[in-house]
Amino acid sequence: MSRPMRLKLLLPREILIDEPVLKVRVEAGEGSLTLLPRHIDYVTALTPGLLSYVDLAGDETFLAVDAGILVKCRDEVFVSTRNAVRGPDLGSLRETVRREFETMDERERMSRDALARLEADFVRRFMELEQ
C-alpha cells in the first residue's frame, strides 16, 4: 500500500479536516477528479459540488463544498473554500445542505435589510445636511 496523503480542508474560520487519507475525489471546472498519493502535483479551481475522501480505515466521507481552490503538493492536499458541510452519507448530506442554505438565506436577507436601513438613514441625514 502506498503512503497516504494529508487532506486539509480550510474554511475562513476553521480547519474542518486535517487527516491522512488514501483518496480524494472532487468536482472541478474540468470535471470530476480523483487524487491518489502518487499522482503529480496539481492545482485547480473547484466548482460547488461534492468532495469525498477515503480515510485509512477505508471509510468514505462526503462533503458538499462551495467554489474554492485545491492544491496537491507532494503528499498534501489543501482545499480552501468559503463553505463546506459534512454528512455521513449522500442522503443525509442533501438534507444537511438544504438546512444550511435555508439558514444562510435567512442571514443574508437579514443582512440586506440592515444594509438597506443604513443606506436609507445615511441618505436622510445627508439630505438634512444640505438644508
What is the mean pLDDT of each successive set of 10 residues along the chain, which is 131 residues long?
89 95 91 92 90 93 90 96 81 70 66 77 77 67
Q: What percent of the chain has pLDDT over 70?
A: 85
For residue 75, give the DSSP letter: T
Place of cell 480547519: 15
pLDDT number for residue 126: 74
What pLDDT sits at residue 19? 96
pTM confidence score = 0.71
Q: Is the dihedral of CA 105, 33, 87, 15 positive or negative?
A: negative
